[in-house]
Amino acid sequence: MRALLEVSLRKRSLAWRVVRVIALAYVLACVVACVSIDSLMFHPDLVRGRYTASLPGFVDIGKDGERIAAWYGGGKDSRKAVLYCHGNAEDITSSMQYFKEFVKRGWTVLAVDWPGFGLSSGKPTEEGCYRTVHRAYEYLVKERGFAAEDVFVLGFSIGTGPATELASTEKIGGLILEAPFLSAPRIVTGVRILPMDPFPNIARIDKIGCPLLVIHGTDDSIVPFRHGEMLFEKAKEPKRHVPVEGADHTDFIAKMGLEAYIELMEDFMRGAGGNGLN
């Protein structure tokens, strides 16, 4: 009997040691994540130096000594604006070919670089991205005279985080999410396991009152297709989900075809204007 008790105590002691080791490992992982989360999320060095302030359409919309690099294009008669939130390892020039197509169709485009990207000052952080997208919205509405309902916010990949946050706190005409995620860490973990949860799109998507368009490649190797599905399922109506069969993270427009992509945008913007979708 005594031998059995000793064995039981040894097993219990071993179990507690395992629990303590796991708990310590988790705490250390949380500390490392807190310290390095920004460097893990953002990669501005991959695109730094690709353009200069002489870029046609370049404008600095920053305030109070902060430089926010942006590209502005559109005619004086344009009454709809697209606020573009770029993805990781990108800058305002990465999607220029699409911006020019938008402008040809009579839309205004404002694309902004996140802090530390392109010619924007500072270092990239989650809060810095929110500050930047709100400043871009303010620039369009207060300084360029666009009605809030005529501003459409388009976010790609990590840009869906600031885009969704803006749409959940400000009045806009519509939100377009391309390759969106539940939250930044959950791209890797699938579920929330850390105390911090940068860019928590899944916690904000049901707070959005404007029309929503989700576009996602079914074979996305960076952000799993299921992320976009889950966001769409939780979002309120009116909403539209466009899976792009066989598309990866960055080639969904090529798979769709540029004309089809532009037509999709036009249909969405027209439908959103009537508080519905085509």
Helices (H) and strands (E) in the chain, counts: 9, 8
Which residue from 217, 210, 260, 268 is spatially nearest to 238, judged by alpha carbons? 210
Give the helix ranges, DSSP H, for 61-118. 96-104
Residues in the chain: 278
Question: Would you say 166 and 91 are in contact if contact means Cβ atoms under 8 Å apart?
Answer: no
CA distance 266 to 278: 10
What beta strand segments (E) does 142-244 contain? 151-156, 174-178, 212-217, 239-244
User: Which amino acid is it at 257?
Assistant: G
The dihedrals phi and psi of 2, each to the nearest 5 degrees, come to: -65, -35
Question: Would you say 82 and 152 are in contact if contact means Cβ atoms under 8 Å apart?
Answer: yes
Q: Which of 86, 120, 220, 227 is catalytic?
A: 220
**Alpha-carbon 154 to chain mean position:** 9
Q: Which of 157, 183, 216, 227 is catalytic?
A: 157
Give the helix ranges, DSSP H, for the chain. 2-41, 96-104, 126-138, 160-169, 186-189, 201-204, 225-234, 252-256, 258-273
Question: Would you say 92 and 70 are in contact if contact means Cβ atoms under 8 Å apart?
Answer: yes
Look up 220 and say whether it is catalytic: yes
Q: Which of 43, 134, 241, 249 is catalytic?
A: 249
Kindly list the catalytic residues. 157, 220, 249
